[in-house]
Structure 1
Amino acid sequence: MGGSLFKNHCVTFLISSILHFVIILPYHAQSSLIISSHNHKLIYNQCSNKTSPNHLSLLAKLFQDFISQSSKSKFFETIVYDNDKTAISGTYQCRKDLTTDECHSCVSKFPQLSRELCSDNNVIPSRIQLLGCYARYVEDGPEIENGPGIQILHKSCGEYKVAMNSGFEEMKSAAFSALESGVWGGKGFCEMKYESFRVMAECAVNLRGCDCGECVNNAVQICEEECGNSVSGDIYLDGCFVSYEYYGDRGNNNIGGPSFKDNGIGGRTPKLVAIVIGAAIISGVILCVFIRSFRKKRDDW
């Protein structure tokens, strides 16, 4: 009777342990990954042509101001001076869908990145674009107000392609049209799912109304021309960015390439699940052996 009850307790424990390791812990780990690393992904950077110590110290001061303000606001611009009246004008902006904590975490990455980037040229970066935020600065004076933004700063197209005449291009164009309308209604930001597409666009805060719409329209046209039937694409202009990703059937024969790549968020590989389950089972067995040993000693008493 006691042995049967003990076995039942062990089985119950093992089941609950497996569920905890496979379901609960990966969920928390996934949430942490989204907040702490995904938004920190480096998209691109631009290097300055200045190497003077004054600019290094001013940049450090600028980033300190950025980090302080990022706990309160997703956008900030300022000018910092040194004793020689040398000035740097800088701006940071976090993506509108980020929380304040996520914005602060993203902006906090700038000081370290500024020390690492452009080191081969012995200069410092003048723009750092992460997935969730960006920082830029202009030396010796305020930034020049940009127009609608047509200069391409960065472009990236997915290596996998969708077969022509599959309806992909029509669906993508419709998704982009919905995105452009959404940017107007979203006051410079829009993220949406349209059929099998996820699309996103955002404008710099200093671009409003028609200028923002024109910038996004430019980015969409460039994306259409440059990325064609790629399953994903990102276009960053000097005043806005556009991003899209196609979530078609992974078994669809219309999609070329060996396989879809996991974006690192969500999804658990069989190997990972096997390791986690194995760890849970081993932990459960050890605990059950310990309990059995304890019960035996107690009976001997």
Structure 2
Amino acid sequence: MCFSRHPFWFLVILTIFHLTPLSKSADDNTKIVYKGCAKQSLSDPTGVYSQALSSLFGTLIAQSSKAKFFKTTSGSGQTTITGLFQCRGDLSNVDCYTCVSKLPILIDKLCGRPIAARMHLFGCYMLYEVAGFTQISGMEMLYKSCSGSNINGAGFEEKRDTALNSLENGISSSNGFYTTSYDSVYVMGQCEGDVGASDCGECVKSAVQRAQVECGSSVSGQIYLHKCFISYNYYPNGAPKRSSSGSYASSSSSPSSSGPGRNTGKTVAIILGGAAGVGFLVIFMLFARGVLKKKDGY
């Protein structure tokens, strides 16, 4: 068929291609934020620690398809290893599983087999500790990241502090995960799943204070304490509209209703409806063409 002689068919095919959605890259939840590896390696001549650690990793990965947070132990006595994982509160169970599945591989690759390790990705983190490992305070700062770009004047720090104060006020009553925005500043906070509401509030408050001091007028910042983390980002064109999800420790929690992917079902329906409409139009035109050919034959 020559499209120059039949422009209608060219337009039909062009319309079908136009209705086909272009794939969009998802947020890179598996991007490494930081790692923490104990200096002391496991002394494991009999392989008992390796067996316990492998069992621990297997259990954590399996649970990540059902829950956003899970803590357990493996081994016994001096070979007991405690471990946990946590996913960001707005991740789906599928994304949580995908994220957590990568953590044991990264720990082994970047840390080896120390007596304790912690690997934090953008969407999830995992840690384990062998029995007897020295405990640290929940308020201990593990990592910070402040943008090199700064904003001076225009009331930026006041806007950021207002958003961070809203985060402080909302985190304790939101099951440990909360997001909000104020005047182009988007903030997010999350506490470890076994931290109570009161301790969660105190941890986030400490993180907020550190962000204000450590990051100054930086347009974005991340503060990771042992039991919680917060982040803020300044969007000159307006912060994305996202609301807090449900309990991040619950297997029934779902992504934020206003987060990425919210309109996926609607978009698919529109695309399918449009494609179906074009399909019916093509069938109709083929039928009409056949009728015209019969008339020409007569």
TM-score (norm 2): 0.71
Are residue 153 (structure 1) and residue 142 (structure 2) matched?
A: yes
Q: Is the 8 A contact 2:3 2:9 kept in 1?
A: no
Q: Is the 8 A contact 1:42 1:131 kept in 2?
A: yes
For the structure 1 residues 95 and 17, does the alpha-carbon distance in structure 2 shift closer, same or farther, using more than 3 Å as the test?
A: same
Count of aligned pairs between the two proteins: 235
Match of 2:17 in 1: 17
Residues 276-291 of structure 1 correspond to what in structure 2 (within 5 A)? none
1:185 and 1:51 mapped to 2: Cα distance? 40
Match of 1:191 in 2: 179
Which of 130, 135, 149 is the matching residue for 2:121?
130
Match of 1:217 in 2: 205
For the structure 1 residues 3 and 115, does the alpha-carbon distance in structure 2 shift closer, same or farther, using more than 3 Å as the test?
A: closer
Q: Deviations over 1:233-276 (max 9, x none)?
A: 000001100100000149xxxxxxxxxxxxxx99xxxxxxxxxx
1:10 and 1:3 mapped to 2: Cα distance? 6
Match of 1:64 in 2: 58
2:124 and 2:118 mapped to 1: Cα distance? 11
1:114 and 1:207 mapped to 2: Cα distance? 24
SS in 2 for 1:185: coil
SS in 1 for 2:172: helix
Q: Please tell me the root mean square deviation across aligned C-alpha atoms, in Å.
A: 2.6
How many angstroms does 1:46 deviate by? 0.7
TM-score (norm 1): 0.71
Which of 81, 91, 94 is the matching residue for 1:98?
91
Are residue 45 (structure 1) and residue 35 (structure 2) matched?
A: yes
Match of 1:109 in 2: 102
How many angstroms does 1:15 deviate by? 4.3
1:154 and 1:85 mapped to 2: Cα distance? 30
1:234 and 1:118 mapped to 2: Cα distance? 23
Higher helix share: 1
How many angstroms does 1:85 deviate by? 5.6
For the structure 1 residues 185 and 217, does the alpha-carbon distance in structure 2 shift closer, same or farther, using more than 3 Å as the test?
A: same
Which of 243, 246, 250 is the matching residue for 2:234?
246
Q: Deviations over 1:209-248 (max 9, x none)?
A: 2211111000000001111111110000011001000001
Q: Deviations over 1:176-197 (max 9, x none)?
A: 1111111022121101222201
How many angstroms does 1:61 deviate by? 1.7
Q: Is the 8 A contact 2:111 2:117 kept in 1?
A: no
2:150 and 2:228 mapped to 1: Cα distance? 25
How many angstroms does 1:14 deviate by? 2.7
Q: Is the 8 A contact 1:43 1:129 kept in 2?
A: yes
SS in 1 for 2:188: strand
How many angstroms does 1:125 deviate by? 6.0
The one-letter amino acid paired with 1:190 is Y
How many angstroms does 1:9 deviate by? 1.2
How many angstroms does 1:140 deviate by? 2.0
2:105 and 2:169 mapped to 1: Cα distance? 38
For the structure 1 residues 8 and 229, does the alpha-carbon distance in structure 2 shift closer, same or farther, using more than 3 Å as the test?
A: same
1:128 and 1:112 mapped to 2: Cα distance? 10
The one-letter amino acid paired with 1:172 is R
2:123 and 2:105 mapped to 1: Cα distance? 16
SS in 1 for 2:34: strand
Match of 2:168 in 1: 180
Q: Is the 8 A contact 2:187 2:230 kept in 1?
A: yes
Unaligned runs of 5+ in 2: 239-259, 262-298
For the structure 1 residues 249 and 102, does the alpha-carbon distance in structure 2 shift closer, same or farther, using more than 3 Å as the test?
A: closer
Q: Is the 8 A contact 1:88 1:142 kept in 2?
A: no
1:70 and 1:150 mapped to 2: Cα distance? 26
Residues 210-219 or 58-67, more deviating: 58-67
For the structure 1 residues 236 and 5, does the alpha-carbon distance in structure 2 shift closer, same or farther, using more than 3 Å as the test?
A: same
